[in-house]
């Protein structure tokens, strides 16, 4: 997209977010339905809280039901009439993704916004998902890829659906290791995290391209929070955490790019939003820099095809209204 290319170079000043944009600038979200993955803490929690305060119906999904109920109670303490509920989801288990999607497709009238937020960062030892994939690749990227595919029918029932996928400044150093996507040969925690977040950014951009080509009617937008105080830093060592606390911004501030991408009338499909301060660690809202690797359309298409195979989940291949059909799901036994 022209916008994406221009946004990467910062040349579309007239379309740039207002630098001092805040949650108070969000338009009313009354009547709109959002799903936020990883909404029990950090960026996800702050996003869910702000959306609920703006009047949206919010579904928080995460693994831990106890933490989910605590998050809901906290949000209702600030917004007593908040329309918010919890649903169980383990992104490291594609059967759980399918189960949630089946429940929601059967019960929701539509979905106006999907925020692919949940993530893990740099576990020191390689671990695998229920489906046998490297854990960061599975949770940060592949689970969200499958969830988006399976919720596409609900999204297409909205008059203005948006999918917001969180990347990271770490994506700049990312490489897609097509010869070893699951890091079975030589696991490096940081390299695996960078790959997963580059994959998220490439997915957001490719989703917009395919939506435009197939007529799905989506706005697919990427965001990153800079460096914010969240549970992602749990695996960082003491020295690194001590240094980082001087540059970390509050999670509520880190959530602004996501909230802008989710709700602002001026947010554009194919865009990438984040802080614009030094190295995009923090600072005023604006266009984030798209790393060169994320602009490789051939690699993005290859990743998409591999992801459909790995998740056994299919996006529709032609433009239709999908009024009575779901994405094809043919899960291999394991």
Write the CATH number for 244: 3.40.50.720
> 287 by DSSP, 3-state: which?
strand
Is 164 part of any domain? yes
When pLDDT is averaged across residues 37-51 and rounded to a whole number, the result is 97
pLDDT the model gives residue 233: 45
Is 45 part of any domain? yes
Is 176 part of any domain? yes
Is 328 part of any domain? no
List the catalytic residue out of 133, 193, 260, 272: 193
Residue 8, pLDDT > 60, answer no
What is the domain count for the chain? Answer: 1
> 157 by DSSP, 3-state: which?
coil
Q: Which pLDDT tens digit goes with each residue over 246-286?
A: 568 999 999 999 999 999 999 999 999 999 999 999 999 99
Going by DSSP bridges, is the β-strand pair 113-116/219-223 parallel, antiparallel, or unpaired? unpaired
> What is the model's pTM?
0.89
Residue 5, pLDDT > 50, answer no
At 328, list the tokens. 């094809």
Q: Which pLDDT tens digit goes with each residue over 162-208?
A: 999 999 999 999 999 999 999 999 999 999 999 999 999 999 999 99
pLDDT the model gives residue 15: 80
Structural domain that includes position 84: 2-11+28-309
Residue 330, pLDDT > 80, answer no
Is 213 part of any domain? yes
Backbone angles phi, psi at 228, to 5 degrees: -125, 160
Q: Is 187 a catalytic residue?
A: no
When pLDDT is averaged across residues 1-21 and rounded to a whole number, the result is 57
Backbone angles phi, psi at 240, to 5 degrees: -65, -40
Is 20 part of any domain? no
pLDDT the model gives residue 247: 61
Is 332 part of any domain? no
Q: Which pLDDT tens digit goes with each residue over 45-103?
A: 999 999 999 999 999 999 999 999 999 999 999 999 999 999 999 999 999 999 999 99
Q: What is the mean pLDDT of the chain?
A: 89
At 329, list the tokens. 């799901």
User: How is the beta sheet containing 33-37 ordered, strand by strand?
Assistant: 83-88, 57-62, 33-37, 113-116, 162-166, 219-223, 272-275, 285-287
């Amino acid at each position: 997209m022209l916008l994406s290319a221009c946004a990467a170079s910062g040349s579309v000043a007239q379309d740039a977010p207002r630098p001092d944009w805040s949650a108070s600038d969000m338009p009313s979200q009354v009547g709109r339905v959002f799903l936020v993955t990883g909404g029990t803490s950090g960026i996800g929690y702050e996003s869910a809280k702000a959306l609920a305060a703006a009047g949206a119906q919010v579904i928080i999904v995460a693994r831990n039901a106890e933490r989910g109920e605590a998050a809901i109670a906290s949000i209702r303490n600030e917004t007593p009439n908040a329309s918010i509920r919890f649903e169980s989801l383990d992104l490291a288990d594609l059967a759980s993704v399918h189960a949630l999607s089946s429940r929601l497709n059967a019960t929701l009238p539509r979905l106006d916004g999907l925020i692919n937020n949940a993530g893990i960062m740099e576990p020191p030892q390689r671990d695998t998902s229920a489906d046998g994939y490297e854990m960061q690749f599975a949770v940060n990227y592949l689970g969200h890829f499958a969830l988006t595919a399976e919720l596409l029918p609900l999204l297409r029932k909205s008059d203005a659906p948006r999918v917001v996928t969180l990347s990271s400044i770490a994506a700049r150093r990312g490489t897609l290791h097509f010869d070893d996507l699951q890091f079975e040969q030589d696991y490096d925690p940081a390299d695996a995290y960078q790959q997963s977040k580059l994959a998220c950014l490439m997915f957001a951009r490719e989703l917009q391209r395919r939506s435009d080509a197939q007529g799905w009617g989506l706005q697919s937008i990427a965001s990153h929070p800079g460096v914010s105080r969240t549970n992602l830093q749990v695996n960082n060592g003491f020295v690194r955490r001590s240094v980082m606390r001087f540059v970390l911004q509050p999670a509520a501030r880190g959530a602004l790019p996501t909230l802008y991408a989710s709700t602002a009338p001026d947010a554009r499909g194919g865009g990438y939003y984040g802080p614009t301060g030094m190295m995009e660690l923090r600072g005023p809202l604006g266009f984030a820099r798209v790393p060169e690797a994320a602009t490789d359309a051939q690699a993005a298409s290859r990743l998409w095809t591999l992801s459909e195979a790995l998740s056994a989940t299919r996006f529709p291949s032609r433009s239709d209204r999908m009024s009575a059909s779901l994405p094809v799901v043919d899960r291999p036994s394991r």
